[in-house]
Amino acid sequence: MTSAAAPPAGLLQLRGVSKRHGLVQALHEVDLELSRGEVVALVGPPGAGKTTLCRAIHGAERIDSGEILLDGAPLPTGGRGRARRRARADVGLVPPPETVEHALAGALGLGRTVFGELTRCQIEARGTAPEVAAERTAGALRKVGAESEAALRGRQLGPSGRGRVALARALVLDPKVLVLDEPAADLHELARELAADGRTMLIVTEDPGFAHAAADRVLFMSGGRIVESAPPEQFFSAPRTFRARDFVSRLRRR
């Protein structure tokens, strides 16, 4: 199939989303729907388009065609204004471990502390009052177990701290959809807690155990297309297409 079968009245909808990187068609008319409270695991081989899809949903990647709707309203795909900042806050993205350092370094700038940045971004994106924002920052850092990172600056963060702070930065904006791109294993338990709390999430993962535990549904991507959509137990035990069977058998051999 070329599009994911999904229930109607989704919180997040992608319709015919395409994106080309130079000669590479990274996303090919992707249709996707996430219902409120649904947790979807996105899997697929390297180069399938998973990160491009996550970045497009977050508004970090300009799409070539198609549309992305959140709560029925199109997400702005360009510009720098308040509407765009708000849209990016509504879809929180935690980048993969290999790029989270760069992403946080950009957010924290040269001098800002973790606490300062998490507070600032709420004031900027949501117009939150400073004292309320500071309280939320403290709550988010507590939630992810990164209270001891509060006074640190970008380069002082260790690998585990970076992932937790990036998650706290997304959470502090109370996103309608949370996208986790290959979260490190030490974030899995937190992701499961967020799923149990009813968060709507799209999680890129190649860990079948984690997908089973956290996700309601698995989407399999290959060649820029969503090829299968199934409950985790069904997908990992009986994938339908050749490409998915090959992917699952490679996972089993690892």
Ligand X SMILES: Nc1ncnc2c1ncn2[C@@H]1O[C@H](COP(=O)(O)OP(=O)(O)OP(=O)(O)O)[C@@H](O)[C@H]1O
Please, which residue, 49 or 59, has the CB nearer to ligand X?
Answer: 49
Distance in Å, CB of 23 to ligand X, minimum: 8
At residue 5, the 3 state secondary structure works out as coil
**Residue number, 128 or 208, with CB nearest to ligand X:** 208
Measured from the CB of residue 99, what is the shortest distance to ligand X in angstroms? 10
Which listed residue (13, 52, 119, 229) binds ligand X by CB under 6 A?
52
Q: Whose Cβ is closer to ligand X: residue 134's or residue 184's?
A: 184
Q: How far is the CB of 46 from ligand X (least distance, A)?
A: 3
Query: Considering beta carbons, is residue 47 or 145 the nearer one to ligand X?
Result: 47
Which residue, 13 or 52, has its beta carbon nearer to ligand X? Answer: 52
Name residues contacting ligand X, limited to 20-49 (CB under 6 A): 21-22, 24, 26, 44, 46-49
b/e map of 98-122 (b: 16 or more CB within 10 Å)? eebbebbeebbeeebbbbbbbbbbb
Q: What is the dihedral of CA 30, 34, 38, 44, to 10 degrees?
A: 0
In whole angstroms, what is the distance from residue 155 CA to residue 161 CA?
A: 11
What is the spatial order of strands in the sheet that 12-21 belongs to? 24-34, 12-21, 65-70, 73-74
Does 251 help bind ligand X (rule: CB under 6 A)? no
Q: How far apart are CA 21 and CA 24, in angstroms?
A: 5
For residues 10 and 7, what is the distance between their CA atoms, to the nearest angstrom?
7
Tokens (6 digits) for 45: 């081989």
Contact residues for ligand X, defined by CB under 6 A: 21-22, 24, 26, 44, 46-52
